[in-house]
Structure 1
Amino acid sequence: MSEKEISFSSLGLSKFILQALNDLGYTHPSPIQAKCIPYLLIGRDILGTAQTGSGKTAAFSLPLIQNINPEFNAPQVLILTPTRELAVQVGEACSHFSKYIKNIKTIVLYGGQNYTIQIRALQMGAQIIVGTPGRLLDHLNRGTLNLSSLRSLVIDEADEMLRMGFIESVEDILKKIPKEHQTALFSATMPESIRLITHRFMKKPYEIGIQTSIKTRPDIRQSYCKIQKGISKYELLSRFLEIEDFDAVLIFVRTKIATIQVAKILEKNGYHNIAVLNGDMTQSLREQTLKHFRDGQLNILIATDIAARGLDVDRISLVINYDLPTDSESYIHRIGRTGRAGRIGRALLFVEPHEKYRLRNIERTIKITIPEVKPPTSDMLITRRLEKFSEKLEKLLSSDDIDAYRNLLKKLINLPIFKKQSDTLSAILLKLAQGNRPLILPPDPIYRDIKKIKNNHSIKKISKDMNLYRIGVGRHDGIEVHHILNIFSKKVDIKSQYIGRIKLFDYYSTIELPKSIPINKILNLSGIRLLNKTMKIRIVGVH
């Protein structure tokens, strides 16, 4: 049987799992699924060498779910993942795959979540436990997790666990579970320390090697934006939605709860033609939502990866990865929803500082460097809002009742409070007309602390003989104190011992320079490049 002829039903999966797969839009098994499922169904150990994004989650969870005894309410399957994000995603996948099998429950355990919540869930019972090594080991040591009835163990992304320092915890867990159990281990690479685990804890595993052939598309313009201190992820999303031109936008989040949370935030920010797409929706509601999205009644759709399977809407011009996907294949599937019907698509990825390594993994897999874009500034938002406001005014110029409003304006101008102040009246009406999108915004969060420097304690600490200057480069640009010291000592012709304190911040720096140096001489240095970054200099403190 050729690879294309293989179906999920031919692999021996039950009708309940096949029904769940059909709901999720799964058609044919991936290579690793086709090879793993039959062996895991018969209880064999599996050692899989596969790049992230090969479809491992379904490859191990489908057969292990089928082998569960739903009448026995105790942990039978344990799945170890290196990160809580992956644990949550795997847990949701297991819930979706098992939704037509009565009494099967999944619990996800990870650090950072309240122990009381997790202990209560464990007391209620579940057959599938998904979690990170550290938290799982904590529960085992506390006696709140009993794995005496465990039948199957999965170690996912073993090399990532090694990199993150979790391998010792994994080995400790392996020592605490029943010796008679089935093991499936997956790793993108197979370093010696992981190979040793397979020798010590696995029984003649069937080895599977899969090479992914993930390719990116040149008709999609990709970029990422790093989440910065001082601006929330929600605010960042709202800003990009406001400045981007799009017909329809698809926003990917990690969990079904996040779809609802993000939708509520956007509604508060004035977006109304939005909907969510998650695994809890009925098929009829899903179809209705997609119909409205296709015909333009909805412009923004917030979805999880599983819920968006099979989604094909030509008018999607922008895909936003609000939450970073757990693997490269998911990323490619996500951004592939745009750039349809011969049009250029746009894809944006939000990256938390601690997620940078996962961005690099995606770049290595798709063999391109994704460029960074900066968050939209307040000035950009103001410009955008003025453009839209001007367009509204132009349309109103041709309205039939404009003369009636002119007469009304004359009456208002003649009010005593506005006599000889028609410009004040215009300003008030302009402010009223702007609604919930102000045309005047406060400075960006990353600049607010500059005012503190100028108005508060920092000025008091400046020597009487010094002025304080702000330089528009900082740690984020790779700047160190010696870089600033060298350039100023050379360009201003001043010995370093006469330069005052230099302070580095994330996006700017400050320097104290003697009052004897003319201010204009310092300001004229604006435009000089430091580490390939243009310096902008202004004075922020004079004693």
Structure 2
Amino acid sequence: MQTLQFSELPISDYILKAVEEMGFTESTPIQTAAIPVVLSGRDVIGQAQTGTGKTAAFGIPAIEHVDADDRSTQVLILCPTRELALQVKEQITLLAKYKKGLLVTAIYGGESYERQFANLKRGTQIVVGTPGRIMDHIERKTLKLDNISMVILDEADEMLNMGFRDDIEQILSHVKEERQTVLFSATMSKEIMNITKKFQNNPEIIKVTKKEVTNTNIEQSFYAVKREAKFELMVRLIDVHDLQLMLVFCNTKSKVDEVVEELQANGYAAEGLHGDMRQAARNQVMNKFRNGNTKILVATDVAARGIDVSGVDAVINYDLPMDLEYYVHRIGRTGRAGKLGKAFLFITKRDRSRMRDLEQYTKAAIPQGKIPTGADLDKARADKFIDKIRENILDEDNQRYEAIVDQLKEEGYYTHQIVSALMRMQMGAARRSDFRDEDISDDARSSRGEKSKFGGREKSDRFSAGSRDKRRPADSGRVSEEGMTRLFINLGRKDNVSPNHIVGAIASEARIPGRVIGQIDMYDKFSFVEVPHRDVRKVIDGMRGKTINQREANIEVAK
């Protein structure tokens, strides 16, 4: 598909100025095709894979659509997860930088209502949010839909997979019929088509296929890591691979600030880059990175657009990007000028399904890397120090220090004692870590050789001898994480239920943040899920009589 320069699209000068400042010049195929149609006011179905630049494809028309003098909410954007909602909000905010008076707010579970109440009360024309939290605000009458004239469903198929169909239909039924409805989805399932028939008016279908992605000069690897151990894994990789200059990518501004603070506290020369920074501060950070004073640059995808740096040893994907195209842009900043680059990708258990999407998108299998152990770390540091000694051992200037060594030997100290003390002084105390080697990995394969809890083929038919319900299987005896309770669900893989369905249903019906839901073990005919002790009653009561992926669910505390 032929693409256009942004300057050739029918967009306002203030949008064009913001786009150019973000480092974009040429629009992507979905942007070229969708922006003029959405601007015309027609309903649109955009079939595009994650990673094709669709946020700007609907974000630019949404900004153009808004009357900035009107303080009421005019555009509502639904996203499946808080991470995507935040990323969409950040990008639209940057695109709307030069449209005075326009406010964008993200509302999602896991954040205090008070802050969201305040943002909505002051008047925000574009609201981006997850279906569950949007429903909460509608019921509390803190989000008024009277003046909404444009609704956008981003990653609609993912929202349906997570069990948000009822919420989506209820939200759309609250909005006036004389509205524009724009839907983006990677697939066109029967459920998606039912939504479009019910809530769209003669939509124009825009379909964009992805192109093959290749990075032949980049050594890619992924690491299955617990979310709380990401920082520990990162510093181990930095030290073991002796990385000198690297880019670290996070999905949100708050995570950038958090990672930079931790790196600096541990003695690493790190700086952050994100959309809240003034241009002068951004320039200062980039200059420090280019001249080598800063070794680690931590950035969001949008803030890093247009950055052109060379000589980067590695790119660390601290978070898997919500937009898979960003992954390609990220890792393309290493492995230049004929040099081999490294790309590390951190995957938590909730990222595993999207990891498969990423491999399909890049048309390449990404191998799993070995997490460095504490012993690997000690050896790497020792080897580096030994090399440093070898470089200096023949230096003629060493002669003036030999008198000091002789003096200490005359005082009765042995040579190896002197050398050991000097080495400790030079190397310093090793960085202390609270993590044991086994605390870092979140591999789906346990040390007992069990199958992946997402993709295994365990067909256990064990029954609980003491159970009154003879169909009720015995728990495996696995100990729940501290503060968590293990619940039994009567649905499994053969019921076409996935972990995403379970998380979506519980988060929606029990009104708890999806992020607090713990490990999920899937079997053919049943499943187990961990939830915080405090939320057990909410989950059991909230799910009573409810369905998961259109199948009646029964949830109880695991025996």
Q: Judging changes above 3 Å, is the alpha-carbon distance between structure 1 residues 3 and 278 closer, same or farther for their aligned structure 2 residues? A: same
Shift of 1:412: 4.9
Paired position in structure 2 for 1:253: 250
Shift of 1:41: 1.6
Paired position in structure 1 for 2:404: 408
2:447 partner amino acid: V
Paired position in structure 2 for 1:358: 354
Q: How does 1:350-429 map to 2 (within 5 A)?
A: 350-398=346-394, 402-412=398-408, 419=412, 427-429=420-422
Distance 2:246 2:303 in 1: 16
Q: In structure 2, which of residues 426, 429, 434 is the aligned counterpart of residue 433 of structure 1?
A: 426
Q: In structure 2, which of residues 448, 451, 456 is the aligned counterpart of residue 474 of structure 1?
A: 448
Indicate if the aligned counterparts of 2:212 and 2:363 stay in contact, CA closer than 8 A. no
> What's the secondary structure of 2:188's corresponding residue?
coil
TM-score (norm 2): 0.75
Q: Judging changes above 3 Å, is the alpha-carbon distance between structure 1 residues 447 and 25 closer, same or farther for their aligned structure 2 residues? A: closer
Shift of 1:473: 2.8
Listed as ranges, the gaps of 5+ residues in structure 2 are 441-445, 459-475, 481-559
Listed as ranges, the gaps of 5+ residues in structure 1 are 449-471, 483-501, 507-543
Distance 2:256 2:178 in 1: 41
1:242 partner amino acid: D
> What's the secondary structure of 2:313's corresponding residue?
strand
Comparing 143-152 with 114-123, which one deviates more in the overlay? 114-123
Indicate if the aligned counterparts of 1:475 and 1:504 stay in contact, CA closer than 8 A. no
Q: In structure 1, which of residues 126, 140, 143 is the aligned counterpart of residue 141 of structure 2?
A: 143
Q: Deviations over 1:223-263 (max 9, x none)?
A: 1011137x621111111111124452111111223222212
Paired position in structure 1 for 2:304: 308
Paired position in structure 2 for 1:241: 238
Q: Which has the higher contact order (CA 8 A, sep 6+)?
A: 2
2:322 partner amino acid: T
Shift of 1:504: 7.1
Structure with greater Cα Rg: 1
Indicate if the aligned counterparts of 1:252 and 1:303 stay in contact, CA closer than 8 A. yes
Indicate if the aligned counterparts of 2:153 and 2:184 stay in contact, CA closer than 8 A. yes
Shift of 1:403: 4.4
Distance 2:253 2:428 in 1: 31
Shift of 1:474: 2.5
Paired position in structure 1 for 2:523: none
Shift of 1:98: 0.5
Paired position in structure 2 for 1:99: 97
Distance 1:504 1:475 in 2: 14
Paired position in structure 2 for 1:453: none
Shift of 1:143: 1.6
Distance 2:478 2:400 in 1: 59
Shift of 1:10: 2.8
> What's the secondary structure of 1:432's corresponding residue?
helix
Paired position in structure 2 for 1:293: 289
Paired position in structure 2 for 1:349: 345
Q: Judging changes above 3 Å, is the alpha-carbon distance between structure 1 residues 408 and 201 closer, same or farther for their aligned structure 2 residues? A: same
Indicate if the aligned counterparts of 1:214 and 1:329 stay in contact, CA closer than 8 A. no
Indicate if the aligned counterparts of 1:70 and 1:103 stay in contact, CA closer than 8 A. yes
Q: How does 1:183-332 map to 2 (within 5 A)?
A: 183-228=181-226, 232-272=229-269, 274-332=270-328
Paired position in structure 1 for 2:483: none
Distance 1:425 1:314 in 2: 42
Shift of 1:443: 8.0
Paired position in structure 1 for 2:330: 334
Paired position in structure 2 for 1:16: 14
Q: In structure 2, which of residues 64, 67, 73 is the aligned counterpart of residue 66 of structure 1?
A: 64
> What's the secondary structure of 1:215's corresponding residue?
coil
1:264 partner amino acid: E
Shift of 1:411: 4.8
Q: Judging changes above 3 Å, is the alpha-carbon distance between structure 1 residues 342 and 279 closer, same or farther for their aligned structure 2 residues? A: same
Shift of 1:420: 6.4
Paired position in structure 2 for 1:132: 130
Q: Judging changes above 3 Å, is the alpha-carbon distance between structure 1 residues 477 and 383 closer, same or farther for their aligned structure 2 residues? A: farther
Distance 1:420 1:47 in 2: 80
Q: Judging changes above 3 Å, is the alpha-carbon distance between structure 1 residues 103 and 413 closer, same or farther for their aligned structure 2 residues? A: farther
Distance 1:209 1:297 in 2: 46
2:349 partner amino acid: P
Count of residues in Structure 1 that have an aligned counterpart in Structure 2: 456
Indicate if the aligned counterparts of 2:229 and 2:439 stay in contact, CA closer than 8 A. no
Shift of 1:14: 0.9
Distance 2:451 2:397 in 1: 55
Q: In structure 2, which of residues 436, 439, 460 is the aligned counterpart of residue 444 of structure 1?
A: 436
Q: Judging changes above 3 Å, is the alpha-carbon distance between structure 1 residues 119 and 475 closer, same or farther for their aligned structure 2 residues? A: farther
Shift of 1:199: 1.0
Cα RMSD (Å): 2.9
> What's the secondary structure of 1:307's corresponding residue?
helix
Aligned pair 1:156/2:154, yes or no?
A: yes
Q: Judging changes above 3 Å, is the alpha-carbon distance between structure 1 residues 84 and 30 closer, same or farther for their aligned structure 2 residues? A: same
Distance 2:398 2:336 in 1: 42
Task: Indicate the percent of aligned positions where both proteins have the same amino acid.
Answer: 39
Q: Deviations over 1:415-440 (max 9, x none)?
A: 6xxx56775565444333322535x9
Paired position in structure 2 for 1:3: 2
2:40 partner amino acid: I
TM-score (norm 1): 0.77
Indicate if the aligned counterparts of 2:373 and 2:437 stay in contact, CA closer than 8 A. no
Q: Judging changes above 3 Å, is the alpha-carbon distance between structure 1 residues 443 and 3 closer, same or farther for their aligned structure 2 residues? A: closer
Q: Judging changes above 3 Å, is the alpha-carbon distance between structure 1 residues 400 and 257 closer, same or farther for their aligned structure 2 residues? A: farther
Distance 2:90 2:439 in 1: 40
Paired position in structure 2 for 1:51: 49
Q: Judging changes above 3 Å, is the alpha-carbon distance between structure 1 residues 104 and 143 closer, same or farther for their aligned structure 2 residues? A: same
Q: Deviations over 1:272-301 (max 9, x none)?
A: 2x3322223444544454444344343322
Paired position in structure 1 for 2:78: 80
Distance 2:161 2:478 in 1: 31
Q: Deviations over 1:85-106 (max 9, x none)?
A: 1111100001100011111111
Distance 2:83 2:54 in 1: 16
> What's the secondary structure of 2:59's corresponding residue?
helix
